[in-house]
Amino acid sequence: MTADLESPPDFARLSEVALTAQSDLHAILSDVGRSRAHVGRYLLDAADYFDDERIDQLGDGYVNAAQLWFDVAANNDAGLGEQLLSLERECAVWMQRAAEPPTRYAF
């Protein structure tokens, strides 16, 4: 995800593309949303299994990002782009933290 955020999508440009290829753009953005939703659900299950708040936070971030991708796809709302990218940047940070050794139950 960190590598993807180095060259993020230009949501203003995507709005322009929607004028000529709206159904194609909707399909692509919805696919991104579905992938984020699947990863988020997987992480939430993993967080329950490992009882790890960091993984839970990351899963919530992915689920919330998925909803924003669906909103952008459905409404062609470029204004959500910065909010979405901000959340995905936070998810990248949470992912790095989730990879660190657990702090709970480490005796």
Tens digit of pLDDT per residue, the chain (107 long)?
666 678 888 988 888 888 888 899 999 999 999 999 999 999 999 999 988 888 899 999 999 999 999 999 998 888 899 999 999 999 888 888 777 776 655 54
Domain membership flag for residue 10: no
In a domain, 7, yes or no: no
Has residue 13 been placed in a domain?
A: no
For 83, how many CA atoms within 13 A lie in the half-sphere containing its CB? 12
**Where in the sequence is the domain holding 37, given as residue range(s)?**
23-98
Q: What is the pLDDT of residue 102?
A: 66
pLDDT at 77: 83
Q: Is residue 6 part of a domain?
A: no
4 is a domain residue: no
Q: Give the total number of structural domains in the chain.
A: 1
In a domain, 56, yes or no: yes
Rounded Cα gap, residues 60 and 53, in angstroms: 10
Instruction: Enumerate the H helices of 1-101 as residue ranges.
Output: 2-6, 11-50, 53-75, 80-98
Six-digit token pair at 73? 């796809």
DSSP letter at 68 equals H
Residue 3 inside a domain? The answer is: no
Whole-prediction pTM value? 0.84
CA distance 67 to 104: 30
pLDDT of residue 103: 60
DSSP at 101: P
- Looking at the domain assignment, is residue 104 inside a domain? no
